[in-house]
Structure 1
Amino acid sequence: MILIFQRLFFTAFICAAVLSGPVSATPAKEAPWIPEAAAYRLTLFLGNLEPLPWDKVATAWSEPHRNSEFTNGALKSLGAKSGVDTSRLLKAIEQEDRQALFAEATRLIALRIEEELGRALVATDPSDARKAVQTGRDLYRAFADGVTAADPDAARDIGLAWLDLNSGAGSSGILGTGGIPADRATMVAASEVISDYLERNYLVDSFAPRDTLNTLPEIAAISGRAIDVPPSLPPGSDIFDQDPLPRLVLNFEERGIDEVDLPLVAYGDMLFDSTQIFGSPARDLGIACSTCHNRSDVNQRLFIPGASHQPGAIDVDGAFFNPIFNDRRDDPIDIPSLRGLRFTGPYGRDGRFASLREFTRNVIVGEFGGDEPTPFMLDALVAYMLEFDFLPNSKLTADGKLTDAAPEAARRGEAIFNRPFAGLGERSCASCHVPDGNFLDRQAYDIGSAAAPYVDARAGAFDTPTLLGTAYTAPYFHDGSLPTLAAVVDWFDDTKSLGLTASERADLTAYIETVGSADKPYEAFDDENTAFRLAFTELTTFASTLDTLLPRRDAEHILLLTDTVAADLSADASTMSNLAARPEVYALAEILADVGSAVREGDWATAEASWTAFQTQAAAIDQRAF
């Protein structure tokens, strides 16, 4: 009975993966990757970048991936537990042979699976056999998405074979009783299902050339069929929200205006959280504007190997997100805060966009390969982002003066901040970071923070960043090269020969930290005011724009909203602390999806009826939605 249940569960899991709908902007945590499987997936990801970063490929095999639960890299791990020869893989890396790299890395993983299958079959202790089966299954995970995409029947058979292997290994029981003998015939038959597939697809003598490195089985690669393997982020990636979550300050809320009374702003708020406005792979991976800009601020934990050199940085014009936009430069930048956006133009790290609308359109179409947004979408996004305000700071007045709450060291530092220096061309820090201008001057300068790309080239200018809220946006400079505000002060003192004493450096740092501080920088949660309640309130507010869109029969924008909000509402329900109310939220998401289904069919009466039902149900469960 248990085996039958396992088989049914596995089949249902595969069906759910294949039939899933719009992608949510709420990422799900992955199970840990074992070292060699992680190195393989990193190799495929890096192998599709142009130019291919061979140094990072070598590191993928020699070092544990970021946030790995293992202390050893793949090569050291293999040396300790495997007899698989790695010399051909290392030779491919040394010779920078992309096709050989793919072939040897693929064979290595397949041979490791075979090695663990062999260990499971010869093990005399059921626990040793089960451990080998689990390791083999963890290794097969490196191929699983390609097999599922190309050959669902084989994927199901292999999945069931892993279950048969595990159950066939038997059990030692508890304290010597209740043991189950191994079923060797079942294990051998299951092992042959997996081995035969590996032999025909991942242990071939010669692999067909691949323009895109992926996990498709060889029979699919040579078939000529167009098969899409769902995009995935490599092990070590982190697109989860920052913790603690930055506090969002919106101008209209501070004025006591309800967002449901601002449908254009509410729709823009939805778009800011929507994956649907971007192209693949960002859309398929659940990446939205808010992924990088948590609550209008920065996501200091965001990291994608090959696209980030450190957490909180991303190369948005590389090969991964939009190949046609690839500038072939490895130049990730520190994610900028969007707080106070209406005061901080021009936009872009180098201030190349005078218009926020133009900048936003470039992010959607250029950086993330999305379709051309409609004028309404741009209107809504801009309307929403212009509501972003700076964090309240009781130590600072609106015109940039320190209040009585500021520490004495900051007051001494304020005098230094306003002092002209020869190394700054007889200007002061305040000349660019103008206190009564939100600590910026809307100009761009080459301060020497970036190296010149070639002989006699200008290194490039970067716009003056505001100092407001910067206590929470480390690291600093366009590339995040300085870890603290104290390091920023030291850098200017050293490179511009300011001649500050140690105490003056400390005072100037205290001033900048005071200017950059805030009274309540993070969201405060408790048992009922949970992260889900925050999400529930936001999502139902997004949905409120249907009151405006349905009467206009605006199918395009309605569908974008229902696809986004229904998927997010369902995904966020899994984070609820009130488990009893969770089914109600799933049902609510389904009602909103029904609105979209009716609109697709042109049945506006049913769409409006479903929307009324959604509103009624949302109001009924509001107090239980935590």
Structure 2
Amino acid sequence: MFAAGTALSACGTTKPTAEGTPPADTAEPQAKQEASAAEIAEGQRVFRFETFGDEQLWTDKLRLNEVVEKNVDPTTALKVGLKVDADVLPAGILEKVDLKSPATTVALLKMNAVVGLQATVDANNHITRLGVTCALCHSTVDNSVMAGIGRRKDGWPNRDLNVGAIIALSPVLAADKKAVYQSWGPGKYDPRYNQDGKNTPLVLPPAYGLAQVKNETYTAEGPISYWNAYVAVTQMGGQGNFSDPRLGIDVKHSPDMVTSKLPTLRAYQHSLPAPPPPAGSFDAAIAERGRTVFDRTCASCHIGGSGTDNNGGTLHPPADTGVDGAYAARTSNKSYRTTPLRALWQHPPYFHDGSAATLADVVAHYNRVRKLDLTAEQQRELIEYLKSL
């Protein structure tokens, strides 16, 4: 439930982000040059297992613990994109259990095997508390056992996850609310719907390759810890503090179960590298020619190691890039950040709203909107280069 950006924007009209500077108490804490192994390990624990007390939403308000216990068998869970951590499963367990029984889901939760879900299960196998973690949306598995079951891949966006369908299972939601959640589809989430009532869901972004990225949101409203706090408190339902006058949000809890955990969470996210492209997934010779095309047409916005001009304070109005502006209009900056181009091979669809199904669609879009005049061969070369990143 964090967020990323728009791709391949050749620079045109831009504006600085001064008016979008986050409040001082939500700005990025001063980070050490390098986090210690202990800090990264604690950050991994937070990322994978910390609910920040959000059971108050998922259990007390939405009552999803009741739904999961009674109605969600493993087959259904896998269909809505939930993942299972094979490393904690006893050998041969899948051959012995009924994957059509909700009781098996309860057993998996009791083993802490469902990625991104934390449950308290009593002696009678009733789920008394259920919460979610960062890993629900920003971790997947390698499918080494079967589809949806394997070893964790933290930082990879779970593009199979149908968050809206899961929320819509709640028995307390009105039909019109359920219809909105069900409209999102797999791999999308609207991090402002519960704030402004509007519906423009975003593609779930990766949480890897962040070490050189200043602002990890589509609209660059704040750095990584700012967005982690926003999501933890306003979206996950965590019991913490988050305040941003630009958005009219001021939430406080006592005790604050979020703020003290943000530095190690950030350290773990910074430690996650973008995965390299699989061997043989692109033509190296063509990609090298594509680098020349990229340097000439794209590198003025996708700058340096970070891959974004936003580190220098630049934003792009929607008209500058030809992408839909409905989401940006809901934010304080009203514009989009240039997306860092990290592991593009791994996470289609592209653009903030998923409107580009392939990298070929992305290149064709900018060739048209930015009048790049690339030939078909140059577009092919550029696509191969993007696949190599």
TM range (shorter): 0.5 to 0.7
Q: TM-score, normalised by structure 1?
A: 0.34
Distance 1:412 1:463 in 2: 27
- Selected match of 1:309 from 176, 184, 196: 184
Residue 282 of structure 1 contacts residue 288 of structure 1 at CA under 8 Å; is this kept in 2? no
Residue 333 of structure 1 contacts residue 479 of structure 1 at CA under 8 Å; is this kept in 2? yes
- Selected match of 2:137 from 263, 288, 292: 292
Is 1:497 the counterpart of 2:368? The answer is no
Deviation at 1:429, TM superposition (A): 0.5
Deviation at 1:374, TM superposition (A): 4.8
Closer/same/farther in 2, CA of residues 367 and 380 from structure 1, 3 Å limit:
same
1:15-67 deviation digits (Å, cap 9, x = unpaired): xxxxxxxxxxxxxxxxxxxxxxxxxxxxxxxxxxxxxxxxxxxxxxxxxxxxx
Is 1:444 the counterpart of 2:312? The answer is no
SS of residue paired to 1:270 = helix
Q: Which amino acid aligns with 2:358?
A: T
1:449-528, aligned counterparts within 5 Å? 449-451=323-325, 460-515=334-389
Unaligned runs of 5+ in 2: 1-34, 66-116, 118-131, 140-153, 166-179, 241-256
Is 1:356 the counterpart of 2:227? The answer is no
Distance 1:289 1:393 in 2: 25
Corresponding residue number in structure 2 for 1:338: 207
1:246-273 deviation digits (Å, cap 9, x = unpaired): xxxxxxxxxxxxx9x8333322212212
1:230-249, aligned counterparts within 5 Å? none
Residue 283 of structure 2 contacts residue 384 of structure 2 at CA under 8 Å; is this kept in 1? no
- Selected match of 1:267 from 33, 36, 42: 42
Residue 155 of structure 2 contacts residue 207 of structure 2 at CA under 8 Å; is this kept in 1? yes
Distance 1:328 1:338 in 2: 26
Q: Which has the higher contact order (CA 8 A, sep 6+)?
A: 2
Distance 1:293 1:300 in 2: 9
Corresponding residue number in structure 2 for 1:409: 286
1:306-338 deviation digits (Å, cap 9, x = unpaired): 33533211112224xxxxxx2111011111111
Distance 2:361 2:333 in 1: 21
Q: Which amino acid aligns with 1:388?
A: L
1:30-109, aligned counterparts within 5 Å? none
Residue 48 of structure 2 contacts residue 134 of structure 2 at CA under 8 Å; is this kept in 1? yes
Deviation at 1:385, TM superposition (A): 1.8
The structure that has the greater radius of gyration is 1
Deviation at 1:497, TM superposition (A): 2.1
Closer/same/farther in 2, CA of residues 310 and 502 from structure 1, 3 Å limit:
farther
Deviation at 1:406, TM superposition (A): 5.7
Deviation at 1:280, TM superposition (A): 4.1
Distance 2:50 2:326 in 1: 36
1:558-581 deviation digits (Å, cap 9, x = unpaired): xxxxxxxxxxxxxxxxxxxxxxxx
Corresponding residue number in structure 1 for 2:274: 390
Closer/same/farther in 2, CA of residues 416 and 329 from structure 1, 3 Å limit:
same
Deviation at 1:275, TM superposition (A): 5.5
Aligned-residue identity in percent:
26
Q: Which amino acid aligns with 1:309?
A: W
Unaligned runs of 5+ in 1: 1-258, 320-325, 396-404, 420-427, 516-626
Is 1:432 the counterpart of 2:301? The answer is yes
- Selected match of 1:318 from 188, 193, 198: 193
Residue 409 of structure 1 contacts residue 511 of structure 1 at CA under 8 Å; is this kept in 2? yes
Deviation at 1:301, TM superposition (A): 0.4
Q: Which amino acid aligns with 1:444?
A: L
1:366-410 deviation digits (Å, cap 9, x = unpaired): 222210135432232222222222224699xxxxxxxxx962221
Residue 299 of structure 1 contacts residue 335 of structure 1 at CA under 8 Å; is this kept in 2? yes
Larger proportion of helix: 1
Distance 1:413 1:335 in 2: 27
Distance 1:508 1:459 in 2: 30
Deviation at 1:282, TM superposition (A): 4.1
Distance 1:458 1:264 in 2: 33
SS of residue paired to 1:432 = coil
Q: Which amino acid aligns with 2:230?
A: N
Corresponding residue number in structure 2 for 1:34: none
Distance 1:376 1:471 in 2: 35
Larger proportion of strand: 2
1:574-603 deviation digits (Å, cap 9, x = unpaired): xxxxxxxxxxxxxxxxxxxxxxxxxxxxxx
Residue 451 of structure 1 contacts residue 459 of structure 1 at CA under 8 Å; is this kept in 2? no
1:577-616, aligned counterparts within 5 Å? none
Closer/same/farther in 2, CA of residues 328 and 345 from structure 1, 3 Å limit:
same
Deviation at 1:365, TM superposition (A): 0.8
Q: Which amino acid aligns with 1:300?
A: R
Residue 450 of structure 1 contacts residue 460 of structure 1 at CA under 8 Å; is this kept in 2? no
Corresponding residue number in structure 2 for 1:114: none
- Following TM superposition, the consecutive aligned residue runs of length 4 or more in structure 1 with deviations greater than 6 angstroms are none
Closer/same/farther in 2, CA of residues 270 and 328 from structure 1, 3 Å limit:
same
Distance 2:302 2:328 in 1: 30
Closer/same/farther in 2, CA of residues 273 and 510 from structure 1, 3 Å limit:
same
Distance 2:360 2:334 in 1: 24
Q: Which amino acid aligns with 1:338?
A: A
Is 1:368 the counterpart of 2:258? The answer is no
Distance 1:452 1:274 in 2: 34
Closer/same/farther in 2, CA of residues 492 and 375 from structure 1, 3 Å limit:
closer
Residue 221 of structure 2 contacts residue 333 of structure 2 at CA under 8 Å; is this kept in 1? no
Deviation at 1:345, TM superposition (A): 1.8
